[in-house]
Structure 1
Amino acid sequence: MPRGAYSAVGIAAALSLALTACSSSSSPSGSAATGDGGGDAGKTIVVGVTSDPDTLFPWKATQFQAVNVLQNLYGTLTEFDKDLNVVPGLAESWQTSDDGKKLTLKLRQGVTFADGSTFGSEDVKWSLDKIMDEKTAAVARASLSSVKSVKAPDANTVVLELNGPDAALPANLATVNMAMLSSDDTEDKLNATPNGTGPFTLKNRVPSQSITLARNDAYWGDKAKAAAVEFRVIPDESSIVSAMQSGNVQLSVFDDPLVAQTAEAGGTITVAKTPQLSYHVLQLNATHGDLKDVNVRLAIQCAIDRKQVLDTAALGEGEVTGPITAPAFKSDPNNRPCPTRDLAKAADYLAKAGKASGVTVKTIVSQGEYATSVNEAQNLKAQLAEAKINLDLEVLESGAYVDRWVAADFDAAVALNGGRPDPDGSYGRYFTSDGNLNKVAGYSSPELDKLFAEGKATTDQAARKGIYDQVSTLLEQNAPWIWLFSGYTYTATTAGVQGFVPMASGSLQFLRTTSVS
């Protein structure tokens, strides 16, 4: 996808839908297919992945591989199109009241879950109520903080009563963490047998080896082009390239630019390069030990050459970033206490903290979820050592890393976080005092709480940009995390694969339009 495919204009258009009715669409994404889908509809597309999903329950999915599988099994009230505009999903239209305090959604009729039961307003009310219930531990709970109540006046209508205008809500409803579930289901049942309204259903799973999805012929939108999609677990990206060259895998998305170059050099694999909203970051837990002192965190910020991390781990493929990566709200990476590496300032900050002799920070690193993680961690360790800051690295397999991360059981974490088109969806759950992932972020403040509330309540695009610029400045000045760079994904396909559309969000939702001949 070219860089212009997710322009600020596209994102601005998405946000404008918060205040206007959205027209009905029979298939929100069918027009995105590149090609006529003329492959063999009876074939299975094999997608090479480096890790197994750690959960099949959409409300708790944070691992990239779990999200990629679940977004093909479940439906959401709104969706994103290929340019990240908000479009209809299970809600065929919606209307915001003049005062912004009521969002009325009209649901599609004739939609069924994978088990054959009918989808309706009672399922939407139950799902949203459960997501908002703190006991559910849903990772998107904070995205519904503006919702006072959910009403279902009839089988095809849902009304959200809001505390005030929420410009981010339509976009926030589009993530798989907001998947609509049957009111008859439970977390245990769904972890064993997913029951969604998406374009595919679960066919088979062999733990740590593969998970296979079958086309859902009862899907409300355009039916998937392929009969099935198999996510085949192959632990490293270089081995996936070998599997593609031998004809055993047809599609994969790589993080490592060197692997992508190797794949393309063989001449039998096509690689598409897509800039991402996701960002590489060193997350610091500001509630732990020496990291409680902002001066220690600022010392770490000043001691890192972000361009060197990018060049070392990702061959320079990307750009240094600030906190917000969405084009319409993008942060200026120069607006931070140390725009470039400054070891003298780092030493000054450590001295202010009374730690002139240095500090040690225990740091978790994921191996398997994305390719550049260990190289990033090793480069950060080498750089920080020159500032008397020791990163004590603990490399974990993907599932163990996610468990530790969700539990906030770390001093620091080398991470790749998914970005979103709206900053509230990206950060409201992390850096507000009542955000459901604030324990993971380890930082909040009254100033940030106020700004995030203003950002949700403001509908003017330019005004929202100014508010989130202030959010970005506060985050950089307090350094709860050290934002590093945004990179690319590299979508590799073999001959005969048609119709897959890479997205800046990293979504694999267009597997539904993909065929192989």
Structure 2
Amino acid sequence: MRNLRLTSAAVLALAVVIAACAPAGPAAQSPSTGQPKRGGTLILARSGEVTNLDPHKVPAFTSARVFELVYSYLMRLDENLGVQPDLAASMPTTSADGKTVTVKIRTGVKFHNGDPLTSADVKYTFDRIIDPKTAAVARSFFGDVNSITAPDDSTVVFDLKTPNAALIAYMAHPNTGIVSKKIGEANADLSKKETAIGSGPFKLAEWVPDNFMRFEANKSYYVEGQPYLDGIRINVVPDESGLAAALRTKAADMAIVYDPKVARTLRSETAITLDSKPSLSYNLLFLNTKRKPFDNAKVRQAIAYAIDRKAIIDAVAFGEGEITGPIAPALTNYALPTSQYPLYTRDVAKAKQLLQEANVGPVQFTILTATTEPAYGKDEAQLVQAQLAEAGITVKIETTELTQYVDRWLKADFDMATGLNGGGPDPDFYVFRYFTDDGNLNFVTSYKNPTSSDAIKAARATTDVAKRKDLYTTAQKELVNGVPFIWLFVGRDYMATLPTTKGFTHLPTGSIIYLRQTWLDK
């Protein structure tokens, strides 16, 4: 197995805390050499279709990757996951009490339709995200915002109820793309191609669902000289096994890979470069605590004891992964070693004992899984099915296309579901929205725990790393014992390219934002 480049733990843990004092660095650059060449259309292959084009409502990775091409963000993450200004002209300033954050935005920026982008559009965007009626994915990130004002065309002021240590980093989240106030007010539905008008490096020119999306370069993009490409075409393959053939025959210049089996194949191809980074995304099982038998904590704990995480990693990820708890191992300042969790040591006898104590009768339920995200979701479900059978638990499996899966997930219409959840450079990215009582994604499992909720809220409000560590320690122990999710492992984020694809910077979040600086050596 090739050596994997680990992201700096210190940077990961402290990225958000030091964001306010970080210098405004240049755009991330690839280590590749040579003068960038202009022109050409890059073909990007992947499995999985966009589920919706509303940049604020869709959690699916397939949609997020498109948002990163079409829309602009106040901030961005660099190659070390440090927070840097993007649409913002400089790093935001924060008042001494931490309750006022002021953002200066670039002047002269235009939307794809030629309209100027001003602070009014930024205010409209974040007001839309915060509005509960929008049901925005990122709403809980900005729950501490009391009001947003735009005192002039290039200034936006966020007034906070309490300090939020992660707020500036959240401005780089793929579900915070800046939309046009004019377009938003004229269209209640932003999910259509016609309303996908941002100020990002590429314009969406054509979309044939389940086939391809074609993008044209934004010649008025605010980063001088970028993008280098004339355009991008995203081709959807039926499954990831087709990615190797697409690259081998040069039908694609680049491929997004999730399936470790496919990555293993690509690694053996001498004419293909496979870049692999420890992922910040969690492979897990969602448990709907509103439904029987998952309303019983002992049943949930019994299932946790019956799971063999290492066997799952070995089978679906070929050993390329680490067992994880609620905070990914890469966030070393905060993540507890999973050896501290009794429920992580497989014990079928203990599982049977807890089921007897639960006194709920025969336990049976259905696992919902999708054909993609992850591609091996059904394999995970089958392994869980076999492992739980040893404890006397009967499991059925229901597999759907990703679009149907997301719709069911957003309605919490499942007993248990496999999942691949995105993480970030700060624990708050992940835990706040799911595990605080008022988190906007708490509805997915309906799990309530005042102790963990209060600890997570308190950790958001302080920049003291030691205090945050103590608070997150409390939260992690409570969550693992409460079992709203069964965290399995964090795997690898893979990106495959041909030698002629240059300048791309691969982030462990899976982001393709740096296609704006990518070029073709053809």
Q: TM-score, normalised by structure 1?
A: 0.95
| 1:290-439 mapped onto 2 (5 Å cutoff) | 290-325=293-328, 326-327=330-331, 328-355=333-360, 358-439=362-443
Work out the CA distance in 2 between the residues paired with 1:416 and 1:190: 23
1:259 aligns with 2:257: no
Structure 2 spans left out of the alignment, 5+ residues: none
Match of 1:146 in 2: 144
Match of 1:215 in 2: 217
- Name the SS for the 1:32 alignment partner: coil
| Alignment-mate amino acid for residue 232 of structure 1 | N
CA RMSD across the alignment: 1.7
- Name the SS for the 2:189 alignment partner: helix
Match of 1:172 in 2: 170
Give the count of matched residue pairs.
Answer: 512
* CA positional deviation for 1:221: 1.2
Work out the CA distance in 2 between the residues paired with 1:286 and 1:191: 34
1:10 aligns with 2:15: no
Work out the CA distance in 2 between the residues paired with 1:398 and 1:466: 38
Work out the CA distance in 2 between the residues paired with 1:322 and 1:180: 33
* CA positional deviation for 1:500: 1.6
Deviations 1:222-262 (A, max 9, x none): 41121111110001111121121111111112122221222
Match of 1:454 in 2: 458
- Name the SS for the 1:477 alignment partner: helix
| 1:165-204 mapped onto 2 (5 Å cutoff) | 165-186=163-184, 187-189=188-190, 191-193=192-194, 194-204=196-206
Of 69, 86, 91 in structure 2, the residue corresponding to residue 89 of structure 1 is 86
* CA positional deviation for 1:38: 4.0
| Alignment-mate amino acid for residue 329 of structure 1 | Y
Taking a change above 3 Å as real, the CA distance of residues 2 and 103 of structure 1, as seen in their structure-2 partners, is: farther
Q: Report runs of 4+ in structure 1 exceeding 6 Å deviation.
A: none
Work out the CA distance in 2 between the residues paired with 1:444 and 1:112: 44
Work out the CA distance in 2 between the residues paired with 1:110 and 1:154: 14
| 1:88-127 mapped onto 2 (5 Å cutoff) | 88-92=85-89, 93-127=91-125
- Name the SS for the 1:290 alignment partner: coil
Q: Is the 8 A contact 1:225 1:512 kept in 2?
A: yes
Taking a change above 3 Å as real, the CA distance of residues 179 and 37 of structure 1, as seen in their structure-2 partners, is: farther
* CA positional deviation for 1:84: 0.8
- Name the SS for the 1:171 alignment partner: helix
Match of 1:71 in 2: 68
| Alignment-mate amino acid for residue 124 of structure 1 | V
Taking a change above 3 Å as real, the CA distance of residues 271 and 4 of structure 1, as seen in their structure-2 partners, is: closer
Q: Is the 8 A contact 1:37 1:513 kept in 2?
A: no
| Alignment-mate amino acid for residue 240 of structure 2 | E
| Alignment-mate amino acid for residue 8 of structure 1 | A
| Alignment-mate amino acid for residue 68 of structure 2 | Q
Taking a change above 3 Å as real, the CA distance of residues 331 and 72 of structure 1, as seen in their structure-2 partners, is: farther
Of 479, 486, 500 in structure 2, the residue corresponding to residue 482 of structure 1 is 486
1:55 aligns with 2:52: yes
Q: Is the 8 A contact 1:419 1:505 kept in 2?
A: yes
Work out the CA distance in 2 between the residues paired with 1:37 and 1:70: 29
| Alignment-mate amino acid for residue 404 of structure 1 | R
Work out the CA distance in 1 between the residues paired with 2:276 and 2:500: 19
Work out the CA distance in 1 between the residues paired with 2:6 and 2:114: 37
Work out the CA distance in 1 between the residues paired with 2:282 and 2:190: 33
Taking a change above 3 Å as real, the CA distance of residues 238 and 3 of structure 1, as seen in their structure-2 partners, is: closer
Match of 1:289 in 2: 292
Q: TM-score, normalised by structure 2?
A: 0.94
Work out the CA distance in 2 between the residues paired with 1:473 and 1:139: 26
Percent sequence identity over aligned pairs = 38
Work out the CA distance in 2 between the residues paired with 1:163 and 1:90: 25
Work out the CA distance in 2 between the residues paired with 1:4 and 1:444: 37
Q: Is the 8 A contact 2:286 2:486 kept in 1?
A: yes
Deviates more, 1:97-106 or 1:4-13: 4-13
Work out the CA distance in 1 between the residues paired with 2:9 and 2:372: 32
Work out the CA distance in 2 between the residues paired with 1:111 and 1:190: 23
* CA positional deviation for 1:34: 2.8
Work out the CA distance in 1 between the residues paired with 2:218 and 2:498: 25
Work out the CA distance in 1 between the residues paired with 2:268 and 2:427: 38
Work out the CA distance in 1 between the residues paired with 2:214 and 2:128: 28
| Alignment-mate amino acid for residue 218 of structure 2 | N
Match of 1:44 in 2: 41
- Name the SS for the 1:59 alignment partner: coil
* CA positional deviation for 1:391: 2.0
Q: Is the 8 A contact 1:55 1:61 kept in 2?
A: yes
Structure 1 spans left out of the alignment, 5+ residues: none
| 1:222-301 mapped onto 2 (5 Å cutoff) | 222=224, 223-301=226-304
Deviations 1:276-326 (A, max 9, x none): 000100110111111000000000000001000111111111111111115
* CA positional deviation for 1:22: 5.2
Q: Is the 8 A contact 1:50 1:369 kept in 2?
A: no
